[in-house]
Chain A
Amino acid sequence: AQSVTQPDIHITVSEGASLELRCNYSYGATPYLFWYVQSPGQGLQLLLKYFSGDTLVQGIKGFEAEFKRSQSSFNLRKPSVHWSDAAEYFCAVGARSNDYKLSFGAGTTVTVRA
């Protein structure tokens, strides 16, 4: 069975500072990996995804993530945070099969201070 751990429940960062959100997964093979963002009362928006190939993936809104197989990690980064990045971020893992079940981490809430 697949599972995801996001060790940080809440992170506070200053506007303009860098951000890194941690994600560790458990899966028997190379999974599909995703980062989603959710603003209050809204659905989930995909930031980026990893399926195969280059382990450093670029996403929308200036986010990037790096897949490290040896550490079973898929950490999300942004060099310079904007106030609009305040939201909840979810890491998700999907199996390489034809079903589309995603297993999500508990989420990390990001607060941006001026």
Chain B
Amino acid sequence: KAGVTQTPRYLIKTRGQQVTLSCSPISGHRSVSWYQQTPGQGLQFLFEYFSETQRNKGNFPGRFSGRQFSNSRSEMNVSTLELGDSALYLCASSFPGRENTEAFFGQGTRLTVV
């Protein structure tokens, strides 16, 4: 079956702009999580959505937001972009409720803020 799909793969934005990233989870998966990966901070949890509700949120400013649709697809939005937002943004999907569940990651969206 198809894996986690993230679009676009690459983005270049200017400081002050906003950006929307998209994530389509594996079919049947209802939990979607977002992570930011930077050389300095490593992999950091942004937020997690399940059935269109945000269940968990990491320690990021309010400029970072997300949502999940009824088909489990998710988007994250970053407003008023800063140079420090340049990162690889990874999305992961899971099938919650099963004991042996695990997170499957997409290939990520590389965001460069100039």
Contacts and interface: CB of A to CB of B under 8 A. Distances in A.
A100 B48 contact: yes
A34 interface: yes
Contacts of B43: 90, 104, 107
Contact of A100 (B31, B58, B90, B100): B31
Given A44-B105, A51-B99, A51-B100, A100 B42 contact: no
A25 to B, nearest CB: 15
A11 to B, nearest CB: 17
Nearest to B4: A43
Interface residues of B, number: 28
Chain A interface residue number, banded: 20 to 34
B101 to A, nearest CB: 8
Contact of A43 (B33, B42, B107): B107
5 contacts: A44-B105, A46-B103, A51-B100, A90-B43, A107-B42
Interface of B: 4, 6, 31, 33, 35, 42-43, 45, 48, 50, 55-56, 58, 90, 92, 94, 96, 99-108, 110
Interface of A: 34, 36, 41-46, 49, 51, 90, 98-107
